[in-house]
Amino acid sequence: MSILEWMPFSVLLPLLAAPVCALLPGRVLPWLLAMISVTASAVIMAFVLPEAVQAPMRYFFGDWPPPIGIEYRVDAVNGFIGLLIALMGTVILPWGRVSVNREVPQRQGLFYALFLLSFAGLMGITLTGDAFNVFVFLEISSLSTYVLVAQGRSRAAPLSAFRYLVMGTLGATFYLIGIGLIYIMTGTLNMVDLAERLPAVADSGAVQAAFGFIIVGIGLKLALFPLHRWLPGAYANAPSAVTVFLASTATKVAIYVLLRLVFTVFGLEFVRQMPFAEVFFVLGVIGILFASLWAVEQDNAKRLLAYSSVAQVGYMALAISFVSVAGISAGLVHMFNHALMKAALFMCVCTVIYQVGSPSISAFNGLGRKMPLTMLAFVLAGLSLIGVPLTVGFISKWLLIEAAMDQGNWFAVVVVLIGSLLAVLYIGKIAEAAWLKPTPEGHETIREARPALLLPMWLLVAANFYFGIDTRLTADVARRGAEMLLGVSP
C-alpha cells in the first residue's frame, strides 16, 4: 500500500477502534488500544506531511471521484494540523492514564471509546475535502466531547457540559445552514468545486448570508470573543486528561476550518468585499485584552488558564485579520505553539490538582519546595506563554508583530505587548504562590508527582524550547500553508 492509501486510516483507525474499546474490560486494555490507534495515526500523518507539502494528496472514498464521492484532501495546512493533533493525542494519553484512573474509576472502556471518537472527529474535520463531511465529523467530535466533559468529578461538570452542548449545537447548526445556502447556490459540497463555482454567484445575498452563518457557527466552536462563554466552564470542570486534550486541539481545528472555508472556499476577493478583516481585528483585540484581564482575576487555576486560552484565540483572530501571508502564517505558527504551551501548562496545573486535590490558587502556596519539577515546568511553559526569547511563544509573538508592522498597524503591536504583560500577571500569580509563599499547614506531606506524570509534561516543555530555537518545521510549513490558502504561488 502506498502512503496515499494509508492516509485515510489516520481517521479510520481511531474511529474503528472506538466501538471495540467500549467493549474491552478493565483499565489496561482500553487504554492500550486507544494508545495504539492514536500513535498509528500520528505515524501515518508524519509520513503524509512531507509528501503533502510537495503536492496536495487526494484520496477518493470508494474510488468515486468528486463531486459524487467524498475525498480527503491533504495539503501543507491540514497535514500540519493533522500531525499536530495526532502528536498531542500521543503525548497526552500516557499522561492522562494516571489521572483518568482516579477521576473515572469505572467503565474506562467507554471513556477511552469517547476519547477515540473525539480524536477521530477532529482528525476527520482536518483531512476532509467536503464541506458537509466537516459538519458530520464536527458533530462526532462535539457529541463525544460533551459526554467527556460531563465525566468531571465536580458537581458542576454536567452543567458545564450542557452549556457547551447548547452553544456547540447552535454553532454546528449555523454552520449547517451556511452550507445549505451555498449548496443551493452552487450545487456542490466539495471544497475545490465550491471555490470554482462561488465567484460566479458572489454578489447574491444568499452567499453573503451563508458566509455570515458559517463565520458565526465556527466562531462559536473556536470560542472567539464574545462567543466564548462555554469554554471556561467546560475546561475547568472536565476531567484533567480531557481538559489538556481539548485545550491543545479542539479550538485549533476550528481555526483551521475557518481558514479553509474563508480563504480556500470563499476566496480572497470575496473576503475583501466583506467586513471580515475589520470584525476579526476588533474581536481579536477585545478578546486579547478582556480575556487576559479576566484571567488575572480568577482564583481557580484551571479557569485562569481557560480564560488565557480565550485570549490566545484572540491572537489567532488578530493574525488572521491581517489577511496577508505573514499574518496567516503567524496564526498557523501560534496555533501549533499554543497547543504545546497550553498543554504543558494544563498538565502542570492538573498534576498539582492530582497531588493536592484542589484547583484553587491558594493550593499552590509553597508548592515550589514540595513539587519543584512540576512547578519549574510550569514556570518554563509560562515563560513560553508570555513570549520570552528562546521559547515558542516568542516566535509566535515575533511573527505576529512582524505581520502587524508590515501593515503599519502599530495599534496591534501595542495590544500584543499589553496582552503579554497581562500574561506575566496571571502566570506570575500562580508562580508567586508556588515559589514565594510559605507552605500552609497540612501540606507537609505533599510529594513530587510520579514520573508517569512528569515525563510527558517535561517532553512538552522541551518541545516548547526546541521549536523556539529550531523554527524550520513550524515557520516554513506554516508559510507554505499560508501561501497555499491565499493562492499566492511560492
Stretch that binds other proteins, among 58-66, 78-86, 147-155, 254-262 (CB under 8 A): 147-155
Task: Verify binding: residue 295, other proteins, rule CB under 8 A.
Answer: no
Cβ pair 443, 366 in contact under 8 A = yes
Residue closer to other proteins (CB basis): 184 or 452: 184
Rounded CA separation 458/465 (Å) = 11
Shortest distance in whole angstroms from residue 442 CB to other proteins: 15
Task: Verify binding: residue 132, other proteins, rule CB under 8 A.
Answer: yes
Task: Verify binding: residue 442, other proteins, rule CB under 8 A.
Answer: no
Cβ pair 312, 334 in contact under 8 A = yes
Residue closer to other proteins (CB basis): 136 or 373: 136
Peptide bond into 239 cis (omega under 30): no
69: Cβ contacts below 8 Å, ≥ 6 apart: 60, 61, 62, 63
Shortest distance in whole angstroms from residue 424 CB to other proteins: 25
- Binding marks (x or -) toward other proteins, 341..380, rule CB under 8 A? -----------------xxx--------------------
Task: Verify binding: residue 161, other proteins, rule CB under 8 A.
Answer: yes
Shortest distance in whole angstroms from residue 189 CB to other proteins: 8
Task: Verify binding: residue 147, other proteins, rule CB under 8 A.
Answer: yes
How many residues are present in the chain? 490
Task: Verify binding: residue 128, other proteins, rule CB under 8 A.
Answer: no
Shortest distance in whole angstroms from residue 166 CB to other proteins: 6
Which is nearest to 342 in space by CA: 235, 417, 438, 449? 235
Residue closer to other proteins (CB basis): 147 or 268: 147
Q: Residue for cell digits 518554563? A: 380
Q: CB atoms < 10 A from the CB of 465, how many? A: 17
Residue closer to other proteins (CB basis): 31 or 146: 146
Stretch that binds other proteins, among 80-88, 182-190, 272-280, 343-351 (CB under 8 A): 182-190
Shortest distance in whole angstroms from residue 159 CB to other proteins: 5
Binding footprint of other proteins on the chain (CB under 8 A):
132, 135-136, 139, 143, 146-147, 150, 154-156, 158-159, 161-162, 165-166, 169-170, 172-173, 176-177, 180-181, 183-184, 189, 236-237, 299-300, 358-360
